[in-house]
Structures are given as C-alpha cells and as structure tokens.
Structure 1
Amino acid sequence: MTEKLKPTLGTIHLWGIAVGLVISGEYFGWSYGWGVAGTLGFLITTALIAIMYTCFIFSFTELTAAIPHAGGPFAYSRRAFGEIGGLIAGYATLIEFVFAPPAIAMAIGAYLNVQYPGLDPKYAAVGAYIVFMGLNCLGVKLAATFELCVTILAVIELLVFMGVVAPGFSLANFTANGWAGSDTFGVHAITGVFAAIPFAIWFFLAIEGAAMAAEEAKDPKRTIPVAYISGILTLVMLAIGVMIFAGGAGNWQTLSGINDPLPQAMKMIVGDNSTWLHMLVWIGLFGLIASFHGIILGYSRQFFALARAGYMPAGLAKLSAFKTPQRAIITGGIIGIIAIFSDGVINLQGMSLTAAMITMAVFGAIVMYIMSMLSLFKLRQSEPHMVRSYRAPGYPVVPAIALVLSVICLIAMIWFNLIIALLFAAMMFVGYLYFLATKSQRAKASEAMVLSSEQV
C-alpha cells in the first residue's frame, strides 16, 4: 500500500513554514558575504538575489499549487522531463536540505556559547538535532504549530533588533571600506559581488521547502499561493533591514565571518551587559530554531518522496504511528551530525564549516531552481490544459528572469568554489549510479506515482 501523508495544515501554518525555513538566514551566515564583497558590494549582491527569489517564488508557486506533492521540485521536474529530470531536481533538493541544518545547528551552538562560554558549540548542535528530530517525529500538526510560534517570535525579535540599534545607526559606518579591494567600484569590487552570491542566497534559502508540506496542506491550491507570496515579501523586508542596521552599528568588519553578528552588532550600541542583548541572544535562538526545525521537516519529506518513488531505499518511505517519516528524519540527522564533527577534519577551500555547508546547500538550491523554472516552461507547453489555480504573473518574463539569474549564480559559484562544486557533482553522480542500479525498484513504485500524479 502506498504511504499517504495527512492534510492538516492551513495558510498560517504554511506561512510559518515558508518564513521559518529561511529566517535563520537573517540571524547569521550572510555576514560572510561582507568578508568577500564589503558592505556596499554585498548590498548589490543581495538586491540581485532578492529580485531572483521574488521572481522565482511568484513563478514556483504555480507549480506548487498545480502539483501539491511531498517531493516538491522532484515531482515537477519528473512530470516535465521524466525520470532523469526528477533525479536531478530531487537529489539537488536533498543536498540543499541535508547540508543547511548543520550550519544552522552550529550557529545555535554559537549563540548559546555567548551565554555559556564553557559550552562546546558542537555538543549544543548535536543536542539541537536530537530535540528537534524528536519533535518532528511526533506529528506534522504539532511540528507546524511549533514552527509558527517560533517564527512569529523570530520576526518580532528582528524588528526589536532594528529598533534598538537604530538610535546608534550611522550610514558612515555602513559605507566605510564598503567595496572589496578598494573604496571604488573596480575589478575587485565586481569580483566580490559575484563571490558573495552564496551568502546572499542564504538570506532566502529554503523558502521553497514549504512545497514539501503541500500534501499535508488543506486546500493547497488556495493556501499555498497566499503563504508563499506573503512569505517572500516578509523575508525581503527583514533581510535588507537587518543587514543595513547591523552594518551601521559600528565597525562592520568585526562582524564579518562570525556566527552571531546580531548580538555582536547590538553590543556596539548597548554594551555587553544590557538586558536588550541578553534578550536578543535568547529570543534570537527562536529564529535559528525555526529554520532548523523547518528544514528537518523539509529534508524528511524529500527523503520520503524519493523513497516512495523508488529513487532511494523503500524503508525511508515508511511512516510511523504518528504518520511521520521517522526513518527519513533520523537519516538526515545522522548525516548532519557527521558533518558537524567533520569541522577541523575536512578543509574545503580554507572555509569554516559553516561557510562550507552554506555553499554546498546553495549549490543544491541553485540547480533545483534552474530545474523548477525549466519545468514551468516545459509544462506550459506540454500540458497547457493542466488545472492551474494560480498562474505566474508576467509569464514568460518573470520566470525567465529567475532562470537567467539562477544560471548566472551557478556559473559564479562554480568559478569561486570549484572544490565544493566538484564535491557536489560527485554526490550527484553517486545518486545517478544508484539510479542506474535500481530500475526494478522504481518500476514497482511507478504505478503508485502515476496514481498520485493523476490525483493532483
């Protein structure tokens, strides 16, 4: 019997998942972009990426509403381009969602280390995995309600951060040494703009993960468009605001390349012992937790969907008594914990573990974005009569902008991160070898997949 997920989520839950998946990107990770582009260069990078994501979400929503499937991009690309298309999109999405959580878990450890200097961030990160894998195993409605609560608190906290820092904000601080290599927009500055792409993408990475909760959404053709569009507008506003206010608080160079830029920026304004600072550290954890918890939900549904379709071992598609894919949740957690303890053991282009995991996750995301936009164009041609309760506005220009910018991002990322690009390609190749070796497994699952496609 084909395993089925239970629809229990409303619009507000889906908004909470969409924003919660991403909101940790406003708390950390992006400041690595200052180190390679400067504040002004990174502002340009962020503006370009914000345009890309806005166009992408307005287009991607058409696919999500028309094909509400736990596999998300895997299902769209498989429908558009067959098994190979599904393979590329599915494995790229899985890499994105498996490698983002270790970076977030390490940031959780760094935030806790601010309060408890004797606490090893790695052990705190592992503790976070154990707690939130357990919560995800208890049921999607409980998990999504928790996600909504911590997401709302995280949004409020970012607004509080901007309000507290605002009195000490100085535009001169933000613009000082704002270009990579020089104070003018020269060759080094332009290079920095492109080199910083992974860290600007981190501001918005994983918003598409709400698509993986589509099978568990009530009336997905109506609720998903509202959740996605309101979600991306929320995130663009927060990303620009947080970056500008943090950069104007003092010497931004001291915030570059650390996992807790917001508490350190606030210290410049209110000092080390302010109540506001302690509040930011504790409540700021909610932003990291929201993304960490939400991405666990996302990677588990991707494992589940791939396994159900025969692209991964069938055991990963088994549901527990709580109707959650427990085995998939645990598998992704084991991979993440191994990644955490590889810090200092494996050196990737001289990057910190956090920067390397972010870059790996972004490679997966960009490949998936490209496949999704190609699927949108292909399905418009091959299935013009498909029921589309939501249509991408400005078609074909808006999705074309998303596609072109995604391709530019991929080229730039390969150029500046060749070793990680090769590692990403190696992972995709291993997935392809598994694909070749498991034809009979997919044949057994194909009837259920066809049935699922017809139902949606």
Structure 2
Amino acid sequence: MSTSLKSSLNGWHLWGLAVGLVISGEYFGWSYGWAQAGTLGFLVTAILIAIMYTTFIFSFTELTTSIPHAGGPFAYARRALGSKAAFIAGFATLVEFVFAPPAIAMAIGAYLNVQFPGVDPKIMAAGAYVIFIGLNIIGVRIAATFELFVTILAIIELLVFMGVVSPGFSFSNFVANGWSGENTFSMAAIPGIVAAIPFAIWFFLAIEGVAMAAEEAKDPKRTIPKAYIAGILTLVALAIGVMVFAGGAGDWRTLSNINDPLPQAMKMIVGENSGWLHMLVWIGLFGLVASFHGIILGYSRQIFALARAGYMPKYFGEVHPRFKTPHRAIIAGGVVGVAAIFSDDLIQFGGMTLTANLITMAVFGAIVMYIMSMISLFALRKKEPNLERPFTAIAYPLFPAIALGLAVVSLVTMIYYNQLLAFIFVVLMALAYVYYSVTQHHRDASSDNVVAGTAV
C-alpha cells in the first residue's frame, strides 16, 4: 500500500486550518482560567501567552518551511537533535493532538444539550467523532474546504456574539472581583495567574498543526508562512475580544466552570428565549466543529508520520488506496478519544472537570513540543547554517528565545499546579519509550535521515 500523501491544499485552505484548529478555544475552555485567576488576572496570563505564541509562530515557521514534513516537530527534532529527541517531540505532539479532540467533543455535546436536554452529551460527543472521522477519510481537500467554510462561519459568529452583548456590556462587571476574587491586585493573585496558564494556552493550542499538512500543501514554502502569520493575528484579536465582552455581560463567576460560556453570557443580555441565543448555539457549533475536525487531521498525520518512520506500528503508516488519506491513523486517534469521553471516573480528579483535565493534558504535550521545537531551531542554525530557509525566524535569536523562555516557565508552573497530571504524562511517555526501545533494532537506519518534503 502507498505511504505518500497528495498535495492539494492552497493558501486559503492553510489559513482556514490555522484558525480552525484553534478557534474552539474562543468558544470554551478559556473560562476555566477565570476560576483560577479572575478576569483581570487571567487577562495578564492571556497576554503573556499571546506573546509566547506570537514569537513562537514567527520562529516555528522557519522550521515548517525548511522541512515541510507530515511529522512536523517530530521531523525537526530528528534532523536537529537525533532519534531520541524526535521521540520526545513526537510523543508530546501526539498527546496534544489526541487529548484535545475529546475535550472539544465534550463541548460540542454541551452546546447540543442546550437544544436537546434529553440527550446525553457524551453520546453526541461520540457521534461527532464518527461523522468527522468519516469526512477526514474521504479526502484532505474536501476536509480542508469544509474546514475553511466552517472557520469563516465561526469567525462571523464570534463577531456577532460581541455585537449582540455589547449593548449590555459593562466594564465594571468585567473588573469586579477580577484578581482571583478580589477587587484589587495583591501578591495573593499571582498563584492564580500562574495556575491559569493551561487555559490561556487553550486560546491558541494546536495552531502549529498546520505543519502536519505541509506535505499536502501546494508550494508550502510560500503558503505556510502567510497562513501562520495571518492565523495568529486573527486568533489574538478574537481571543481578547471574546474574553472581554463575555466578562462584561454580567457576573463572570457564573461562566467560569462551564463548557458553554458564550451562550450563557448571551443569556444575561438577551434572555433565554431570544433567537440570537439559539443562533449562537447552532452557528457556534461551527467553531467547535472547525477545531475538532482540524485536529483530527492533525493527530492522524502525526500518527501516520511516526508509524511511517517506525516509531509506532507500521500498520498506522499506510494510506487509503482510493482516498490517499491515512485512514488507519484517523481511526486510531478516534478510538482513544471516544474512550476518554466515557472515562469520567479515571480522568475527572484534582478538583477539575473532565474537560479541564483533558485540556491540561493536551497543554502538557503542547508545551513540551514547543520547547523541543525551539531547541531544534537553535540547533539547526548551528548544525546546518546553509540549510535553505525560505522564511527565516523574525528577530532571531530574540523571538525564539522569548518563546522558549516562556514555554519553559509555563511547563515548570504547570507541573507545580498539576502534579498528578504531570505524573500521568511522564508515565505515558515512559510506556511509549519502552516500545521505542524494544522496536529500535527494527527501524531502518535510513529512517533517521529526514529529507525535507519527502516520505521517510
């Protein structure tokens, strides 16, 4: 069977993927950060994380365009640092992209439950997996065109949300008890600001997934930088706007531990029976669907790339003979996601909801991957100074250093505030490393040589 992907995505597809992968973060998840830090404290956290992501994307794009490979960070680390570093980067990326979809699926279930309170949200979440796994298998161009369509609708809906709640917006609502439950800043607010980091990261999590579509992009060295830069600017503006308008709609504390903060914020302004509210629920689903659908594309390419290189069973490294998509990898990630949805008793602990724990686990994977990617960038600059770099990191070495430094700080603080989840992350990595070690002698030595833009 074939192990080659088909190049069919243009710049608009890639921009839609960059924004669509992330845009669910504007619809839910971030409000858990209010529970930790308050509105003003979380605003500080969000601005710091926005700086981290902006500097990261302006640096990461150098790697993506220099080594356009479906493995993304795994391929960069392997070329720059060797096989073991590639394992760490690949595992971390896999955790990020496998644990994020069930959190989004749970939010899809929560949004639908507003309209159909008699149906179990978990059943609807599992149904979302079935539908979008099928769409991703049919073909990447069809999937990416659908992604672009729902992403544009999701952006329009966020703008509509801000417009509808603006007549009732009150800045006094937003700032009330804004520092971890207090009206004035004190040193006691700092732990909450730090503990809220995972939920600020959720605003932007997975934008780097565009890298995993690099082998399927037309002219990736030109289209990917445009998609990344336009994407991060779009997302920063939407994140700040949605957070401020939702917080000013009423008592933000009622929105801080739920999966559907935007419909509930709109209820405060227009009431429970308004047509605007029902429109938000239905069209708002497009934002969740855009990210859910896009991340399925992302995790499948990561599983596919790792399997193709021998880091996972070769069974997952083949593509469908007709549709030219990694169908086995798509299904494998879905099985894990559905299992997570129905594992409340195992995943709901530490005083946080199932969704909050899934988000935090995905963020652990993301942060480790960001660290490995920035180290790879510095290593490749030294190791391969003559490597073709169609897009060079902006403000090098300052921007990569800022991104790396903020990522390290984020990881350290997340470990401190989420010790049990950090332990689970390490245990999962150890188990994966056992497989990596046992199968090492089976891997073709040539698979450790990454050739930009080629299958390995």
| TM more than 0.5 | yes
Name the CA distance, whole Å, in 2 between partners of 1:27 and 1:249.
Answer: 15
2:438 maps to what in 1?
A: 437
Give deviations 1:386-409, integer Å, cap 9, x for gaps.
000100110000110000000000
The residue type equivalent to 1:51 in the other structure is I
- d(CA) in 2 for partners of 1:262 and 1:30? 11
Counterpart of 2:293? 293
Distance in 1 between residues matched to 2:177 and 2:125, nearest whole Å: 34
Q: Quote the residue 1:98 is aligned against.
A: 98
User: Is the 2:139–2:325 contact (alpha carbons within 8 Å) kept by the matching residues of 1?
Assistant: yes
Deviation, 1:185, is 1.9
1:248 corresponds to = 248
The answer to whether the 8 A contact 2:2-2:319 is kept is no
| Superposition map of 1:81-92 within 5 A | 81-92=81-92
Instruction: State the partner residue of 2:446.
Output: 447
TM-score by length of 1: 0.98
Aligned amino acid, residue 183 of structure 1: N
**Range that drifts further, 220-229 or 1-10:** 1-10
Q: Deviations over 1:186-237 (max 9, x none)?
A: 2321110000000000000000001000000000000000000000000000
2-structure distance, mates of 1:247, 1:394: 35
Is the contact made by 1:41 and 1:180 (CA closer than 8 Å) also made in structure 2? yes
Q: Which one is further off, 183-192 or 48-57?
A: 183-192
User: What SS does structure 2 have at the residue aligned with 1:286?
Assistant: helix
Match of 1:420 in 2: 421
User: Is contact 2:70-2:213 (8 Å) kept?
Assistant: yes
Q: Following superposition, which runs of at least 4 residues in structure 1 exceed 6 angstroms of deviation?
A: none
Q: CA deviation at 1:166?
A: 0.7
Letter in structure 1 aligned against 2:429: M
CA distance in 1, matches of 2:178, 2:208: 31
Aligned residue for 1:105, secondary structure, equals helix
TM-score by length of 2: 0.98
Going from structure 1 to structure 2, the CA distance change for 1:266 and 1:347 (only over 3 Å counts) comes to closer
Supply the distance in 1 between the matched residues of 2:452 and 2:214 (Cα, whole angstroms). 13
CA displacement 1:76-120 (0-9 Å, x = unmatched): 011010001100000000000000000000000000000111111
Distance 1:327 1:2, change over 3 A: closer
Distance 1:13 1:26 in 2: 20
What RMSD, in angstroms, separates the aligned Cα atoms of the two structures?
1.2
Does structure 2 retain, via aligned residues, the 8 Å contact 1:181–1:188?
no
| 1:208-247 equivalence runs, <5 A | 208-247=208-247
Is 1:340 aligned with 2:338?
Answer: no
Return the offset for 1:454: 7.9
Partner amino acid, structure 1, of 2:390: S
Q: CA deviation at 1:181?
A: 4.6
Aligned to 2:22: 22
Q: Distance in 2 between matches of 1:349 and 1:188?
A: 21
Q: What is the CA–CA distance in structure 2 between the aligned matches of 1:45 and 1:150, rounded to whole Å?
A: 29
* Deviation digits for residues 247-305 of structure 1 (CA, Å, limit 9, x no counterpart): 00001000011000000000111111111111000000000000000000000000000
Q: Which amino acid aligns with 1:194?
A: V
Q: Select between 187-196 and 446-455 the one with higher mean Cα deviation.
A: 446-455
Q: Name the structure 2 match of 1:193.
A: 193
**Residue type of the alignment partner of 2:289:** I
Given that 1:94 and 1:302 are in contact with CA atoms closer than 8 Å, whether structure 2 keeps it comes out as yes
For 2:44 and 2:439, how far apart are their aligned partners in 1? 45
Amino acid at match of 1:86: A
Amino acid at match of 2:312: M
Query: 1:362 maps to what in 2?
Result: 363
Other-structure match for 1:13: 13
Going from structure 1 to structure 2, the CA distance change for 1:183 and 1:451 (only over 3 Å counts) comes to closer
Offset of residue 452 of structure 1? 3.5
| C-alpha displacement of 1:346 | 4.0
Equivalent in the alignment of 1:202 = 202
Taking a change above 3 Å as real, the CA distance of residues 124 and 221 of structure 1, as seen in their structure-2 partners, is same
Tell me, in whole angstroms, the C-alpha distance in 2 between the residues paired with 1:420 and 1:315. 30
Q: Which runs of 5+ in 1 are unaligned?
A: none
1:179 aligns with 2:203: no
Q: One-letter code of the match for 2:439?
A: T
* Alpha-carbon distance in 1 for matches of 2:341, 2:71: 26
**Is the 1:348–1:419 contact (alpha carbons within 8 Å) kept by the matching residues of 2?**
no
Secondary structure at the residue paired with 1:22? coil
CA distance in 2, matches of 1:452, 1:218: 18
Q: How does 1:46-445 map to 2 (within 5 A)?
A: 46-320=46-320, 321-443=322-444
C-alpha distance in 2 between matches for 1:2 and 1:89: 25
How far apart are 1:349 and its partner, in Å?
1.0
